[in-house]
Amino acid sequence: MGLISRLFLLSWLPLRLWLELFQTYVWRPKVKRSPSRDTSNGGAYGKNGAALDREVDVTYVSPEQLDRLNEAMDKWWSPITPLQGLKAMNKVRIPIIVQAYYKDVLEQDVDSSSLSAVLQSETPLQGAKICDIGCGGGFLTEALVDSGADVVGIEEDEYDVLAAKTHWKETRGNEKKGPEYHHVSVKDFSARHAGEFDVVVCSELLEHLDDPMGYLPFVLKLVREGGVVVITTNNRTLSALAFAIAWLEHVVAIIPVNTHHLHQFIKPEEIDSVFRSNGFVMKDLIGYLPIGLTARLTWRLQWFLTSFTGVWYAQVAKKEAA
C-alpha cells in the first residue's frame, strides 16, 4: 500500500470511529435488504423461488460464468489475497472444533496435553460428520477434510462455492474423498437435513449478516441430539472496535476497510439466548487473537488462543436430548 493511501486511511480513522460508535449506541442503520437473486445463470433458486439443494458440479462451467469464477478464485486462493488471514485462522479453529468433538460429542476427557496428542495425529476428526455453514472458498472446509471428517460445505454465493469446488478438484483431484459442496441457503438446507450432523460450524459469518439471530436457529436445526455447534465471531466491545476495526483496517491495513462494523458484532450472551431457546446448552467460550500485525507481515498473520473474549471468540453449545 502506498504512502498516500495509508495516510488517507489514518486521516479517516477519527470519523470512522465516531460513525461506528454513533451507529452502535445512538442510531442503528436500517437494514438494507438485498434484491432477489438472479436465477437466470443457474443460481440456487428456481423460477418459483424454491431452493435447489444440489451438490456443486464443476464438470462444465459456462463461458458466462468463467470470468466470475476466476475472480472468485483470485479472491479466495491468490497468494496475495487479504483473505489469507482467514485461512491462517484454521490454526485456532481446528483445535477448537477437535476439542468440542472429543469433549462434548464423544464425551471423552480432554486436557491440554491429550488434546495436543490428538491434534498431532493425521486425522483427529475421523468419523465426525460436519457441516460448514457459509463455507466461502473452502478454507476451513478443506482443513476439516484433511483432519479426517466427512464434510458438507454450504454457501449461498454461487461463485464462492464454485471456487471452493474448483480449488479442491485442481489441487487434490481424486487423491481422497473431498468435501461435498452445496449451493443453497441454510434455511432450505436445514429443512432437508435437520439433525444430520455431529458438528455444525458457523465461522466468521454471523457478524456480516443483517439478521444473525434470525439466521442462527436454522444453523442449530442441523445438529443431531448430542451434537454440537461451534460459532466463531466478533464481540461487540470497545476492544473490538479498537483492534478489529481501527488497528486492522486503518493502521496496519491488513483487512479491507468496512469489512467489519461494530453494530454488527454480537455479544456471547445474545448467542447463548438463542442456544437456550432452541434446546442447546453452552459448553465453552474461547477467545483468540492474531499476531504479526505489521504491513510487512500482512500475509503471515498467526492466531493464538486466549482467555480474552473481547475481540474474537468461539462459542460451543451442545444439543440436549429432547
d(CA 223, CA 217): 10
d(CA 133, CA 203): 7
Helix intervals (H) in the chain: 3-25, 63-77, 84-88, 90-100, 112-120, 139-146, 158-171, 186-192, 212-221, 238-240, 268-277
3-state secondary structure of 213: helix
Q: Residue 168 has which C-alpha cell?
A: 479442491
Q: Provide the phi-psi class of 265: left if phi over 0, else alpha when psi is between -120 and 50, else beta.
A: beta
Q: Is the CATH number 3.40.50.150 carried by domain 3-26+62-319?
A: yes
Is the pLDDT assigned to residue 40 strictly greater than 50? no
In this predicted model, which residue has the larger pLDDT, 90 or 299? 90
Look up cell 445512538; give the residue: 26
Report DSSP state, residue 106.
Answer: S
Helix intervals (H) in 193-300: 212-221, 238-240, 268-277
pLDDT at position 47: 36
Is the pLDDT assigned to residue 45 strictly greater than 50? no
Please report which confidence band the pLDDT of residue 111 belongs to, taking 50, 70 and 90 as the band edges: confident
pLDDT winner (highest mean) among 84-93, 116-125, 131-140, 168-177: 131-140
Please report which confidence band the pLDDT of residue 52 belongs to, taking 50, 70 and 90 as the band edges: low
The sign of the torsion formed by the CA atoms of 54, 151, 316, 139 equals negative
Report DSSP state, residue 143.
Answer: H
Residue pLDDT, tens place only, 192-246: 999 999 999 999 999 999 999 999 999 999 999 999 999 999 999 999 999 999 9
For all residues of the chain together, what is the average pLDDT? 87
Q: Which residues contact 194 (CB under 8 A, 6 or more apart)?
A: 221, 222
3-state secondary structure of 318: strand
If you write DSSP's letter for every residue of 61-90 in order, what string do you get?
Answer: --HHHHHHHHHHHHHHH-TT-TTHHHHHTH
In this predicted model, which residue has the larger pLDDT, 58 or 177? 177
**Average pLDDT of span 251-277:** 94
In this predicted model, which residue has the larger pLDDT, 198 or 12? 198
d(CA 21, CA 273): 24
Instruction: Report domain extents, the chain.
Output: 3-26+62-319
Is the pLDDT assigned to residue 43 strictly greater than 50? no
Residue 197, beta-bridge partner list: 223
CA max distance for the chain: 60
Is the pLDDT assigned to residue 188 strictly greater than 70? yes
pLDDT at position 54: 60
pLDDT at position 271: 98
d(CA 205, CA 202): 6
Beta pairing class for 302-306 and 223-234: unpaired
Q: Residue 98 has which C-alpha cell?
A: 477437535
pLDDT at position 287: 98
Q: Residue 77 has which C-alpha cell?
A: 486462493
Beta carbons of 36 and 141 less than 8 angstroms apart: no
Q: Which residues contact 267 (CB under 8 A, 6 or more apart)?
A: 235, 236
Is the pLDDT assigned to residue 51 strictly greater than 60? no
Residue pLDDT, tens place only, 162-187: 999 999 999 988 777 899 999 999 99
Beta carbons of 262 and 236 less than 8 angstroms apart: yes
